[in-house]
Amino acid sequence: MGLLDGKVALITGAGGGIGRSHALLFAKEGAKVVVNDLGGARDGTGKGNTMAEKVVEEIKAAGGQAAPNYDDVSERAGADGMVKTAVDSFGKLDIVVNNAGILRDKTMLKMDDAMWDLVVKVHLRGTYLVTQAAAKHMAERNQGGRIINTSSVSGLMGNFGQANYSAAKAGIYGFTRTVSMELAKYKITCNALAPVALTRLTEDLPMLAAMPNAKEILSPDHIAPIALFLASDLAADISGAIVGIQGNQVSVYRMTQTSGVTPKNGNDWSPSELKERWAEISK
Residues marked as catalytic: 165
Cβ distance 175 to 124 under 8 Å? yes
User: Given candidates 4, 7, 25, 36, which one binds ligand NAI under the rule CB under 6 A?
Assistant: 36
* 10, 31, 67, 102: residue in contact with ligand NAI (rule CB under 6 A): 102
**Distances in whole angstroms, Cα of residue 158 to Cα of each of 126, 167, 229:** 21, 9, 27
How many C-beta atoms lie closer than 10 Å to residue 209's C-beta? 13
Separation of alpha carbons 246 and 244, rounded Å = 7
**Binding region for ligand NAI (CB under 6 A) out of 173-181, 192-200, 229-237, 261-269:** 192-200
Contacts of 253 (CB under 8 A, 6+ apart): 151, 156, 173, 194, 242, 243, 244
Residue 70: CB minimum distance to ligand NAI, A: 8
Q: Would the CA dihedral through 122, 123, 127, 129 be positive or negative? A: negative
Residue nearest to ligand NAI (CB): 17
Q: Pick from 9, 27, 83, 100: which binds ligand NAI (CB under 6 A)?
A: 100
Told to check if 232 binds ligand NAI by CB under 6 A, we report: no
CB of 5 to ligand NAI, least distance (A): 26
* 85, 191, 199, 239: residue in contact with ligand NAI (rule CB under 6 A): 199
Stretch that binds ligand NAI, among 1-9, 30-38, 230-238, 264-272 (CB under 6 A): 30-38
Q: Where are the alpha helices (DSSP H) in 91-162?
A: 113-120, 126-141, 153-157
Which residue of 131, 152, 166, 232 would you call a contact of ligand NAI, by CB under 6 A?
Answer: 152
We find the least distance from the C-beta atom of residue 277 to ligand NAI, in angstroms, to be 37
**Of 7, 16, 35, 176, the one binding ligand NAI by CB under 6 A:** 16
Per the CB < 8 A criterion, the answer to whether 26 and 231 are in contact is: yes
Which of residues 44 and 68 has its CB atom nearest to ligand NAI in the complex? Answer: 44
Q: Phi/psi at 146 (nearest 5 deg)?
A: -135, 125
| Of the candidates 46, 140, 63, 55, the residue with the CA atom closest to the CA atom of residue 94 | 140
For residue 97, give the 3-state DSSP assignment. Answer: strand
Q: Smaller CB distance to ligand NAI: residue 44 or 64?
A: 44
8 SS3 class:
strand
**Residue 37 within binding range of ligand NAI, rule CB under 6 A:** yes
Binding string to ligand NAI for residues 44 to 83, with x set by CB under 6 A, is what?
x------x--------------------xxx---------
Selected from 131, 162, 189, 202, the binder of ligand NAI by CB under 6 A is 202
Nearer to ligand NAI, 218 or 282 (CB): 218
User: If we measure between CA atoms, which residue out of 154, 136, 153 comes closest to residue 79?
Assistant: 136
| Size of the chain, expressed as the number of residues it contains | 283
Query: Which residues are near ligand NAI by CB under 6 A?
Result: 12-13, 15-19, 36-40, 42, 44, 51, 72-74, 99-102, 122, 126, 150, 152, 195-197, 199-202, 220
